[in-house]
Structure 1
């Protein structure tokens, strides 16, 4: 699979090098034409406006403008090819465990008290989000995080999402084009809150249509009076024109705070609007097959009042507003053309036409971006499948289920068959117990989001997921590791009382206390969770917990190891029954700690 991305990288390298040669030639030609234009200007002055020289000068200046335009277009191509090359390099990194260097980890979206996010590496450093995220818009990132942290879809909705993501998995070109539309941005787009607040607001800047008429007519009056006064040498008209300009500018200066607020909002989004427009242009050309993607596309393009028109018009208004950022330009334009006032009026017209839909447009773009991210595993993994997700029941059945954050070449997959029961998993240190729990959890998160999972096949019911793995103390608030774990376990038990369909994953239960209390506490917790009808898995070194299968519905599993010449070999394969070995003394010996008998 890696080869297809390397081929794309080579392809974009060749295209970039070809266009770069043209870019350099045009740069040289631009300089020559500019010098020629300046020389013709010199001759024009020297020969007092000779017609032939004038015509040649026009040709040179026209050619220079055309070359500037062509230069910019080639620069856009170079940026695009560079972006696409980098995108494909990122896909290769996803396959070689180099994705840990990706800067966007989504860590600021992580809630440390979340039921499973921290334990299952959903967000943060070395997380699922970091590996699969291809979003760049604010809504795209938020949407991807939300479906991973709180998937709340019906069985039917999951099926429709699976169809959409499967379609995206089959069209890598489209997925990369959408990512490429915004990939040149170093950071994700900002929260468009100011724009949305304005779009939803009511009321006009100035009441009454008379002000709009004034803004339309007054510039023509000013220009006409000035022209007549200048040509006819009527100083009174020129003076009157200057007074009108002063009144015009003064009126806008009086309303400067409100105008500045609107222009400030536009100034913060002008560069981001380009990216949204690029995405929409890519989306508009795509004919979707799956019902859900069609539905999303219809939100953007079905009506005459559509997303692309809305954002293009807003982009145009923003560009005009950006013209008057410098006072030396703003003063004459505002005095003569009432430039800023017209910007406000244009924005109000835009708001009346598109204001109520714009948030829905941005959310829809973000949803498509998040679906593309959820298709990434299908592009970089050899073995993925779409699970069968049932609304009822408490079960997980999977064949050769693997962890998506472990490199393919070292990943070990296991079967899972949990049906209204609790697993007690024993085994030596580093044998794979914790990874097995995380493998179950992270694949369920993907399943509930409608994404492909790392398994030959997987069937599961829809359950709330609660975990207790990475327990940390909090010295600031005087909370020990043991107390923090107790709090987490209590959260799991309370959730089991609330939800009839729930799965728990607990690693090394009560590791922070003595063995007698640990065994007693762990036994009580497992019995309590069993009585509440929940299912799940618990890892432990306490073999006494394996005896729970005599009284409640518990199934024992274990991981084991072998020893060769003072080294430990793990196969990371789950096996039926309790563990019969330990490896602490071997690990101590391996690191050089002398065992005193």
Structure 2
């Protein structure tokens, strides 16, 4: 099914307005290309599952998914059971199912008890008056009957106008409750949330009322059209739709939290199946672990899952942060993104794209990787970076913090860039913080060698060809190949000679 982020994000928009703690910033979401990661990782079978997955990826904390490893393991081992569960989940894979999330954020119509009593009288009035007309043939009573039907017609169509916004969401809510009940009958699914049976039982009266909503009669034949008009006449005459709809609204207002519980239960089951299938297709993966004593971070065979045939890398830290040097295209930015993506996936999906992955479990994630000038806001990317880094410096220290920084302050002159970058990186690299920073400035290595572990990526220039091995190597950069590369690319010889001359004299 074609993805529509405006539909998929409906539930997250509602939830993020209420719950802001541990929320991944839009900057970090964009830096890590998490829209692309979501599309790649999504193996859900329902729109509800898709919305749930999109929402949990926006929270940098241990998710409900991480508590369900035993369920994921059983789903991976029993493909037939997983297929059975997914067949139930697919009943909510129509675009209309996205609208269920809108029910959480709107105010439902309110009717008084007096109005309910009036509706009950008006519902039975045509029955009684029709019987009297049949017995007495009274024109006076016939007039009252016509008035009664007219009043019912007005009420019917006024009610219909009020529920137009529920045209898609209410039938899908009914389907959600129905399918959740079916899932809850499967022991493995019931174990995901022990109280789901109790919640569904409390919502059973609502489900019965919702069954009255029958908006989706398809007018594709004369018989269907006749059935629609016959049903509409019955609904108008006896208020067959208005009364259950009014009671359904009353029940909706008092049950929103329980409805969201069912929504999240259904979405969680779907995402557990999705994670199970995702893992089946990976070259390898590992479950995250806490750091061993003396260790602050460890990754072996770490790779970026969105890059085909990605070269894996290893890294272990024991207190220091990381400064990675290297030329463009050598792999340093991809490596930093892979670190961030694995940190988020470890906490949210309980899945790491590595052979071994250990980190402080309670972490916050900050980034400044991809910056552009904002013409609409009149901000250069340098000014944006200044503001983002200030927020990092002001961030709380209650939990471990990971800072991902790519070529700090490249929008300003060399002398000030190196000075500011050194001061900022020193300030960030204190207790309960790990910085992964990349740079072109080899001068930073000597300034930060006491606080940072130094690593680099390098290119190979041979036989007029440029190649990269994308392997992380310990220590600072020892070779400079930029002038050799421009020479290979056909720059005029006088330009190349002048560049070599200036470097040789130490002018640069």
Fold conserved (TM > 0.5)? yes
Query: 1:276 deviation in Å?
Result: 2.1
Note the C-alpha offset of 1:277. 5.1
Against the structure 1 CA distance between its residues 262 and 284, is the aligned structure 2 distance closer, same or farther, given a 3 Å change threshold? Answer: farther
The correspondence of residues 143-222 of structure 1 with structure 2, limited to 5 A, is 143-153=52-62, 160-170=67-77, 171=79, 172-174=82-84, 176-183=86-93, 185-186=94-95, 189-194=98-103, 197=106, 204=112, 206-207=114-115, 209=117, 211-212=119-120, 215=123, 217-222=124-129
Match of 2:381 among 464, 481, 500: 481
Task: Assess, with a 3 A threshold, how the Cα gap between structure 1 residues 253 and 320 changes in structure 2: closer, same or farther.
Answer: same
- Identify the match of residue 201 of structure 2 among 279, 299, 305: 305
- In the other structure, the counterpart of 2:452 is 554
CA distance in 1, matches of 2:433, 2:153: 68
Cα 1:504/1:346, change in 2 over 3 Å: closer
Question: How far 1:577 moved relative to its partner?
Answer: 0.6
Structure 1 contact 137–189 (Cα < 8 Å) conserved: no
Measured against aligned partners, the alpha-carbon deviations of 1:159-194 in whole angstroms (never above 9, x if no partner) come to 5243343344444425643553333x2576125434
Bigger mean CA offset, 421-430 vs 527-536: 527-536
Asked if 1:359 corresponds to 2:260, the answer is: yes
1:453 aligned residue: 352
Output the CA distance in 2 between the equivalents of 1:475 and 1:354.
46
2:435 paired residue among 536, 546, 551: 536
The 1:344/1:465 distance shift into structure 2, 3 A limit, reads: closer
Q: Measure the CA separation in 2 of the matches of 1:414 and 1:541.
A: 20
Secondary structure at 1:339's aligned position in 2?
coil
List per-residue Cα deviations over 1:360-417 (Å, max 9, x = no partner).
Answer: 222322333344444443122130111114699982212111111122xx11111121
Separation in 2 of the partners of 1:257 and 1:151? 47
Q: Mind listing any 5+ residue stretches in structure 1 that lack a counterpart?
A: 1-85, 87-100
Q: Which residue of 1 aligns with 2:503?
A: none
Structure 1 residue matching 2:300: 3-state secondary structure: strand
After superposition, the CA RMSD in angstroms is 3.9
Residue 430 of structure 1 deviates from its aligned partner by: 0.9
Q: How does 1:567-586 map to 2 (within 5 A)?
A: 567-586=465-484
Instruction: Give, in angstroms, the shift of residue 137 of structure 1.
Output: 6.1
SS at match of 2:287: coil
- Post-superposition CA distance 1:174-220 (Å, at most 9, x none): 5643553333x257612543477567x765364464752552x4343
Matches within 5 A, 1:330-409: 332-334=233-235, 336-344=237-245, 347=248, 351=252, 357-389=258-290, 395-407=296-308
Determine if contact 2:284/2:354 at 8 Å carries over to the other structure: yes
Contact kept, 8 Å, 2:153 with 2:237, in 1: the verdict is no
- Determine if contact 2:303/2:353 at 8 Å carries over to the other structure: yes
Quote the Cα distance in structure 1 between the aligned partners of 2:65 and 2:232: 57
Structure exhibiting the larger radius of gyration computed from Cα positions: 1
1:471 to 365, 371, 374: 371
Aligned pairs, how many? 474
Tell me, yes or no, if structure 1 residue 119 matches structure 2 residue 31: yes
From the superposition, tell whether residues 148 and 391 of structure 1 become closer, same or farther in structure 2 (CA, over 3 Å): farther
For residue 507 of structure 1, the aligned residue among 391, 406, 416 is 406
1:31 aligned partner:
none
| Equivalent residue, structure 1, for 2:18 | none
Is contact 1:427-1:579 (8 Å) kept? yes
Structure richer in helix, relative to its length: 1
- 1: CA distance, partners of 2:329 / 2:312: 16
Matches within 5 A, 1:81-120: 114=26, 116-120=28-32
* Contact 2:76–2:276 (8 Å) recurs in 1: yes
